[in-house]
């Protein structure tokens, strides 16, 4: 694939693959295009050349909905897009694509609990939850939607140690495939592979397990 922005080539001749369940870490200097690469996987950043294939489905305008249905994107400060946390968790199930899959209350509580979030957070205004809690709510929402592929952009940089531990526990599950941008040595050490952005190319880097 090839990525360009503002007339500048960010990435050329790159080939990045992740097997099911694999955790791939991405690292590189600020502004080198790591986040753009993640966004290109869900059609939110245009590819100058090349192709994105998710579970055998080639990303195109016609398949973007199907690809996005499998992929979760969690950023540093995720937009929850609703007034309260409960509304945010149930937001996807108000859209036609997921309307018939609204989770039961018990499943909501179990998912929150697995991310060490108390049940009371559901009634909290999204504007009043911390950055770390927002990330966990975004993860809980993705898990409720049954997403198994996660694109994660620098989520640990603003987290306290406890929130970071919980985020790692949630995302390094064997059944999840993850492509994550990070500068955190502890995070990268837990990845199966680490890929480095070097001079507009992707190179296998040392690190990972």
Partner 1 sequence: MSGHLTLPALLVTYALMLLPLALFVRLRLGLVRVTLVALVRMSVQLALVGLYLKWIFELNRPGVTAAWMGVMLLTANYDVLGKAGLRRRLFFSRTLMAIGASVGGTAAWFVLLSIRPDPPYDARYAIPIVGMLLGNTLRSNVLGLERFYGDIRRNEAEFETYLLLGAALDEAVRPYLRTAMRAAINPSLATMASMGIVSLPGMMTGQLLGGASPTAAIEYQIGIMISIFVSMVLAVLLNVRLTLSVAFDAYGRLRSEIFR
Q: Which residues bind partner 1 (CB under 8 A)?
A: 42-44, 46, 61, 64-65, 68-69, 71-73, 75, 78-81, 91-92, 95-98, 141, 145
Nearest by Cα to 189 from 166, 205, 167: 205
Residue closer to partner 1, measured from CB, 66 or 205: 66
Distances, alpha carbon 193 to alpha carbons 27, 37, 121, in Å: 11, 17, 35
Tokens found for residue 191:
């990845």
CA angle 153, 34, 82 (to 5 degrees): 35
Residue closer to partner 1, measured from CB, 82 or 116: 82
Q: At its nearest, how many Å lie between partner 1 and the CB of residue 3? A: 15
Q: At its nearest, how many Å lie between partner 1 and the CB of residue 40? A: 10
Sheet strands side by side (includes 71-74): 71-74, 149-153, 177-181, 23-27, 193-198, 201-205
Q: At its nearest, how many Å lie between partner 1 and the CB of residue 191? A: 23
Residue closer to partner 1, measured from CB, 46 or 118: 46
Residue closer to partner 1, measured from CB, 134 or 193: 134
Name 88's Cβ contacts closer than 8 Å, sequence gap at least 6. 80, 81, 82, 126, 137, 141
Residue closer to partner 1, measured from CB, 34 or 68: 68
Q: At its nearest, how many Å lie between partner 1 and the CB of residue 98? A: 5
Q: At its nearest, how many Å lie between partner 1 and the CB of residue 61? A: 3
Q: Are 65 and 34 in contact (CB under 8 A)?
A: no
């Amino acid at each position: 694939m090839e990525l360009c922005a503002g007339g500048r080539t960010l990435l050329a001749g790159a080939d990045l693959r992740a097997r099911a369940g694999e955790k791939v870490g991405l690292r590189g200097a600020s502004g080198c295009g790591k986040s753009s690469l993640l966004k290109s996987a869900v059609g939110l950043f245009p590819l100058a050349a090349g192709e994105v294939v998710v579970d055998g489905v080639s990303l195109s305008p016609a398949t973007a909905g199907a690809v996005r249905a499998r992929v979760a994107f969690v950023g540093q400060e995720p937009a929850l897009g609703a007034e309260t946390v409960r509304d945010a968790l149930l937001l996807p199930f108000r859209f036609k694509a997921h309307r018939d899959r609204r989770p039961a209350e018990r499943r909501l509580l179990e998912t929150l609990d697995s991310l060490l979030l108390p049940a009371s957070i559901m009634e909290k205004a999204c504007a009043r939850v911390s950055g770390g809690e927002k990330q966990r709510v975004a993860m809980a929402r993705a898990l409720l939607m049954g997403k198994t592929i996660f694109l994660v952009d620098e989520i640990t940089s603003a987290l306290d140690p406890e929130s970071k531990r919980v985020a790692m526990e949630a995302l390094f599950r064997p059944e999840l495939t993850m492509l994550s941008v990070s500068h955190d040595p502890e995070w990268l050490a837990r990845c199966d592979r680490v890929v480095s952005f070097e001079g507009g190319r992707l190179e296998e880097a040392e690190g990972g397990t």
